[in-house]
Amino acid sequence: MGEDYGCTQGNNELQQEKELPVSEAEEMLVIGEAVPEGEHLRTLRVYSRCSSQATVAATSGARPSEAGSTDAGVPANEGEAESEGSSRGCRDVHVLRVFREPDVMIAPNLITKEQCAHLLKLADGKWTRSKTSVGTTSAPQTAYRTTESRTRTSYSVMLEEAQTPGVVSVELLACALAQMPVQHLESLVLVRYAEGEYFAEHHDGGFRPKTVLLYLNGESSC
């Protein structure tokens, strides 16, 4: 069995200081509703000069020139979008909701195989033991402490913001999917799971309203 790789926005996961007792009623409480068939929410139209570098995304299938700006909060350049669309074409990515309350969305083929390979190449030889940030949900991000934990045994690499044009393209796509401005994006973190490694159940910090997970290889990859 090989290793699985993924990418996430930031690594400020919340781990409780201690386990709290859970009542039988709470254990039986059903939260939310699964949508097995997937509910189509919107379409991202992606224009790119090349499959591993700069990309521009717009919602609802609109061209960037029609939308005015992307969901990532980056103004769209009409001439640039035309050039990208004509030289490399465009592709539609469908966003499906598979769970309600809380909302869980998937976007198959959001990033290309070339983008996946580019991210993995940047991480080559830089893997270190993944860490967790420990704090309370009400604490500011600066109050969290980062440490290795038995609840997380994977290995990670944190990329620099806008480290390469290829990284920028993935950052913009993640923002478009999350419908958040790029100014709120955390640094991308690549995570590697070998057989038997894991990240136990946890909550992300309260300062992170949305989390984007990108599968870089395996059955769920791009």
Lowest average pLDDT, out of 1-15, 108-122, 135-149, goes to: 1-15
Do the bridges between strand 132-134 and strand 145-147 make them parallel or antiparallel, or are there none, so unpaired?
A: antiparallel
For 17-37, what is the mean pLDDT?
A: 57
Helix axis angle for 165-178 and 113-123, nearest 10°, is 120
For 78-88, what is the mean pLDDT?
A: 39
- Per cent of the chain over pLDDT 70 is 64
Do the bridges between strand 90-100 and strand 13-15 make them parallel or antiparallel, or are there none, so unpaired?
A: unpaired
Q: What is the domain partition of the chain in residue ranges?
A: 4-18+35-41+98-215
pLDDT tens for 154-207 read 999 999 999 999 999 999 999 999 999 999 999 999 999 999 988 888 777 777
Q: Are 216 and 5 in contact, with CB atoms under 8 Å apart?
A: yes
Is 136's pLDDT higher than 90?
Answer: no
**The two three-digit tokens of residue 190, written as one number:** 């690549």
- What DSSP character marks residue 70? -
Lowest average pLDDT, out of 5-9, 66-70, 99-103, 182-186, goes to: 66-70
SS3 192: strand
Answer yes or no: pTM beyond 0.85: no
For 142-155, what is the mean pLDDT?
A: 80
How high is the pLDDT of residue 173?
94
* Mean pLDDT, rounded, of the chain: 74
**H or E stretch at 67:** helix 64-67
For 38-60, what is the mean pLDDT?
A: 67
Give the CA dihedral 44, 122, 73, 57, nearest 10 degrees: -20
How high is the pLDDT of residue 37?
80
For 9-16, what is the mean pLDDT?
A: 42
Higher pLDDT, 33 or 188: 188
Please tell me the distance from the alpha carbon of residue 210 to that of residue 3, in angstroms, as a whole number.
26
Is 106's pLDDT higher than 90?
Answer: yes
Please tell me the distance from the alpha carbon of residue 65 to that of residue 189, in angstroms, as a whole number.
32
- What DSSP character marks residue 8? E
